[in-house]
Structures are given as structure tokens and as C-alpha cells.
Amino acid sequence: MADRRAEVLVTAAELHRRLAGPQPPVLLDVRWALGDPHGEEHYREGHLPGAVYVDLDTELAGPHEPGAGRHPLPDVADLQAHTRRWGITRSRGVVVYDNSGGLAAARAWWLLRWAGITGVRILDGGLAAWAAEGFAQATGTAAPQPPSQITLSPGHLPTLTADEAAALPATGVLLDARAGERYRGEVEPIDPRAGHIPGAVSRPTGENLVAGDVPVFRPDLSERFADLAGERVGVYCGSGVTAAHEIAALAVAGIDAALYPGSWSAWSSDPDRPVETTP
């Protein structure tokens, strides 16, 4: 498998050089974590100079609908309006980041590519990597970007419906990107039922990162996913957010994968869907 790290990730040092160039990328700050509604406050306390704050719940997800999960895909017209306000064009490129190793920013990486924007990369290590290099941060709110006229269209990356996710283990591999204890059904802190989709394989997203103060993507992702070479791969998590991080890690390893957007939040809310637990 070919390592495609440079297509998916950018280091803090490389980004710093690009920001000093004639056509710097658009920076999106996707500060979000489950149970922490203060992402914008964190952004104002310190962010990459020129970065635009993006609200994951309202700008990278559609409104809640019964059976659609906690973070359904947004309407592409709404996403287009946001990307125009963020100043995204076809030529500048985009870098997304957060302060959690890309676990939230990967949602923006996946969603923008799903909508047809190429040249999107994740800042490897996020804000921690930027700070570790000693690069300056800005506070407050960045000046508005010049609006663009970019046009988006959906479907440029593969997705799975609930029925397709159910069928995939018979012909390929369905990865559950949640923590192992949630996969096994030992705990379920937020969704209606505990357990996992029958036939799914546990591959926790958190294990894609190097533990430490700067949570960069592991250097051995090709080895981590070597057993998936040549397989049809799908991924889900709790609500389709951290599964995007798993898809990014798989992409680094040279493996393309489909996202089940509704993920466990949609599956577990349907009483007709079976649930499997692991002792």
C-alpha cells in the first residue's frame, strides 16, 4: 500500500511556510468535543492567525431529524453558503485543525471533499503541534475572509446507508471506530442502545494517534491497516464525526473507505435494527 500522508496531512512547519507564501491556504478552526460546547471560546483564546472558526454542530452537520443520527450530513446548499463565507476557492487549498489530534477537524476534511473540494489537508497534531514549534497565535476573532463564489455538489466520496452498512460484513469489512468498551456494549454514554452493528470489527479511532502532548497520526498506519488491503471498507462511529478521522488514517495508509453518516446514533435509535455485544 502506498503511503499517502502528504495528500492527507500537513505538518506545522510546512503550513507555516505556506502561510508566508503568495497564496496561503484557508484555515478552518474546528474546535469541538463531545460534551464541550465552548469551542468558539477556545478559538478566541488562541488560534492560528487568520483562521476562521467553524461550528461543527451547525455548519458541518444538518438539522436533527428522526432516524438521521446526531450529526446528519448538511444540505449541500447550506454547506456551500458556509464555504463561500469562509473564503474557500478552487485554487487556495484548505487546512483544517483542532486541539484534539484531528478528531473533530477530520469531519471538515471529509465533508469538504465529499462536496467536491480538493486540496484539503489536516494539520497533523493540530494546535498543539503549532504551539510546539513556537509559532505565534492570534486571539479574538479573525477578520472576515473575502467571500468566494465556489459551487459545491454532493457525493464525491462514498457513503453507506444503514442497509448497506448491515450488508457490508458479508462482502467486506465494517469498522467500528468508537472506543472498545462502547463497541463491546459495556457502556453507552449517549446513544439509545449499547453494542455494535452485527459483524462490525472494532478499530478505535484513538489508536490512530501517537499518545503524548502532540497527538500526531501514527507513522505506522500502513501496518495498522495492512489486513484491510484489497477489502471493501466502511466505517462508522457514534455520529459520523470520529469515523471521518478513521477514514483519514485509512487514506494515509492508501485505503479508500466509505462513511456510514448516521453511524451508531442512527442505528441504535431504530428498534428494528439488531444489536450485537461482545463479552
Annotated catalytic residues are 237
Question: Secondary structure of 236-262 in the HEC alphabet?
Answer: ECCCCCHHHHHHHHHHHCCCCCEECCC
The rounded distance, in Å, linking the Cα atoms of 264 and 202 is 13
The three-state secondary structure class of 84 is helix
- Please name which of 163, 159, 162, 202 lies closest in space to residue 182, comparing C-alpha atoms: 202
Pairing type for strands 94-97 and 173-176 reads unpaired
Cβ-contact 190, 239 below 8 angstroms:
no
Q: What angle do CA 71, 75, 76 make, to 5 degrees?
A: 120
